[in-house]
Amino acid sequence: MTSSPLRRRLLKAAAAAWPAAVLPRLALAQERRFDPQPGAWRSFELTTRVDVPEARGTTRLWLPLPDLETDWQRPLDNSWSGNATSARVVADPARGVRMLHAEFAAGGPAPSLVLTSRLQTRDRAVDWNRRAAPAEDPVLLRAQLAPTELLPTDGIVKKTALEATKGARTELDKVRGIYEWVVTNAHREPKVRGCGNGDIRTMLETGNLGGKCADLNAIFVGLCRAAGIPARDVYGLRLAPSAFGYKELGANPANLKGAQHCRAEAYLAGLGWVAMDPADVLKVMRQETAEWIRDPAHPVVAPVKAGLFGRWEGNWVGFNTAHDITLPNQSAKGTLPFLMYPNGENAEGRFDELSPDSFRYTISARELTA
């Protein structure tokens, strides 16, 4: 059958209009990718500077260190300077998390401290065909199944874990089910201060599953533990822009204020600790484009959703994996849910670690070349 001149003109006009609505999605599908793979190491120098405006009684500071040594991160060294009366690396007595602790005597000048850490990172990806990962310490695995103050494993957490893993036959199926459940049911909430606090019972009981990385990945970790899968949060900091074109998955190294980011890991027999980050999937959905993307299959989101199940990009450094931190020599009572920000106190009480402009700390990084 042949087309009439009028029909051909109509088809031509329709074809001209069609790309305006559809081609942007197709272009994004072609251009966006997220495929970190282990390769060359990148070297960074990370600098944290704290300047407390006034000396009011004894001042104490605690700064997290990039202290994880793995096949995707190498800590090299730490050095510090300033006018502290004493400064040394200490560890939380219960969790063993190391940090720089500095103390400034009352009556001295305004406290000032600079911590410089050198480290190496690289991209990370699990080899799904691997079945010979070194066995993990059973004591450590039991610890990564235990509840914490904000990550219970009973009640509604257990109930939700059973819902998310219904029909799953293997541990990998369970982890995938929980990952999908978090991406489908939770959402990024930009108004939450800092990275959130990870109070998953309250989130699940209220049905308010909006939060940031320390909330969203905590849901993932808590559900994994409740399902019998060892899992843990990994608290750290973005260091540099993403190599994959996603602005929300990177940071400005000259100013890392607000660049703290929590990731997650699940332990699978034969594979070892496997990288996970459903929180960053939800961040891309909420903040990567001007409009909130609700569909995880959207071409902007799909590569990240697939990529962050088993992979990380090496533009980030991990500090530690512990919950319920006690700061050595602290005056304030109680524990921190995690140590990812600079912390401090003086005679007036604990500083607000989520307010770097009033606490007066800055964080920056620079990539080192050979």
DSSP letter (8 states) at residue 139: H
> What rounded mean pLDDT belongs to the chain?
91
Other beta carbons less than 10 A from residue 146's beta carbon:
11
- In angstroms, the Cα distances linking 210 to 203, 295, 309 are 8, 16, 21
Q: What is the value of pTM for the model shown?
A: 0.90
Confidence grade of residue 134 (pLDDT, cut at 50, 70, 90): confident
Residue 139 backbone dihedrals phi, psi, to 5 degrees: -65, -45
Mean pLDDT across the stretch 260-282? 97
**pLDDT for the residue numbered 130:** 78
**Residue environment code for 308-337, b if the CB has 16+ CB neighbours within 10 A, otherwise e:** bbbbbbbbbbbbbbbbbbbbeebeeeebbb
Express each pLDDT in 327-355 by its tens digit: 999 998 889 999 999 999 999 999 999 99
**pLDDT for the residue numbered 33:** 87
Confidence grade of residue 91 (pLDDT, cut at 50, 70, 90): very high
Express each pLDDT in 156-182 by its tens digit: 999 999 999 999 999 999 999 999 999
Express each pLDDT in 211-251 by its tens digit: 999 999 999 999 999 999 999 999 999 999 999 999 999 99
d(CA 139, CA 141): 5
pLDDT at residue 256 greater than cutoff 80: yes
Mean pLDDT across the stretch 279-288? 98
Mean pLDDT across the stretch 18-46? 69
Lowest-pLDDT choice from 13-22, 82-91, 234-243, 293-302: 13-22
The residue that leads in pLDDT, 31 or 66, is 66
Express each pLDDT in 51-80 by its tens digit: 998 888 999 999 999 999 999 999 999 999
Mean pLDDT across the stretch 88-105? 95
Quick check: 337 and 320 in contact, CB under 8 A?
no
Q: Which residues contact 135 (CB under 8 A, 6 or more apart)?
A: none
Q: Hey, what domains does the chain have and what are their CATH numbers?
A: 42-121+322-368 (2.60.40.2250), 124-320 (3.10.620.30)
Q: Is 217 exposed, middle or buried (0-12, 13-18, 19+ CB in 10 A)?
A: buried
**pLDDT for the residue numbered 333:** 87
Express each pLDDT in 109-131 by its tens digit: 999 999 999 999 999 999 998 77
Confidence grade of residue 87 (pLDDT, cut at 50, 70, 90): very high
Quick check: 230 and 270 in contact, CB under 8 A?
no
Confidence grade of residue 370 (pLDDT, cut at 50, 70, 90): low
The residue that leads in pLDDT, 66 or 27, is 66
